[in-house]
Amino acid sequence: MCDVHEVFENMPVHNLTSWDTMITGLAKNGHGEDAIDLFTRFKQSGLRPDGQMFMGVFMACSVVCDIDEGMLHFESMSNVYGIVPSMEHYTSVSVVRMLGSIRYLDEAMEFIEKIPFEPTLDVWETLMDLCRLHGNIVLED
């Protein structure tokens, strides 16, 4: 990760793709705090995030077990940036996974129930997998 970070820092210009790639890469490699810090720098750069970038941010919040920050970012998607959350933002790589990964299974269920459209099979399978993982057979049923 050090070499990639160095290349990023030495780039003359950062675009949305380069920021997103770094944020997501850091999160995927367990560097959630660094990813969140980089997202803060990104916002200060004057560029606007897109829906894809928020998926990396949710992953980073999951890595550092910071659900409060993750939910603030989820709310800012639409309230600040005008991004309408897609099903991808609710599914396995995003908010449901973020909540369930640290045993917030009841909260994940409540979140699913508030999705403004019919949850997909992927959403329910994600929740069931997390219930199995954490031994919550009551919610799994």
DSSP string covering 61-116? HHHTT-HHHHHHHHHHHHHTT-PPP-HHHHSTTSHHHHHHHTT-HHHHHHHHHT-S
Predicted confidence at residue 75, as pLDDT, reads 94
> Distance between CA 7 and CA 120 in Å, rounded?
39
How does pLDDT run across 41-67, given as a tens digit for each residue? 999 999 999 999 999 999 999 899 898
Predicted confidence at residue 16, as pLDDT, reads 95
Q: Is the pLDDT of residue 105 over 80?
A: yes
Residue 12 is classified by DSSP as S
Predicted confidence at residue 123, as pLDDT, reads 84
> Distance between CA 109 and CA 30 in Å, rounded?
25
Q: How confident is the model at residue 39 (pLDDT cuts 50, 70, 90)?
A: very high
Predicted confidence at residue 93, as pLDDT, reads 59
Q: Is the dihedral of CA 68, 78, 59, 19 positive or negative?
A: negative
Residue 110 has a CB neighbour count (10 Å cut-off) of 11
> Distance between CA 11 and CA 93 in Å, rounded?
28
Where do the domains of the chain lie? Answer: 1-84, 86-141
User: What is the mean predicted confidence (pLDDT) over 4-23?
Assistant: 91
Residue 139 has a CB neighbour count (10 Å cut-off) of 15
Predicted confidence at residue 86, as pLDDT, reads 87
Predicted confidence at residue 95, as pLDDT, reads 84
> Distance between CA 22 and CA 104 in Å, rounded?
27
Predicted confidence at residue 83, as pLDDT, reads 96
> Distance between CA 38 and CA 86 in Å, rounded?
23
How does pLDDT run across 114-133, given as a tens digit for each residue? 888 888 888 888 888 888 88
> Distance between CA 35 and CA 28 in Å, rounded?
9
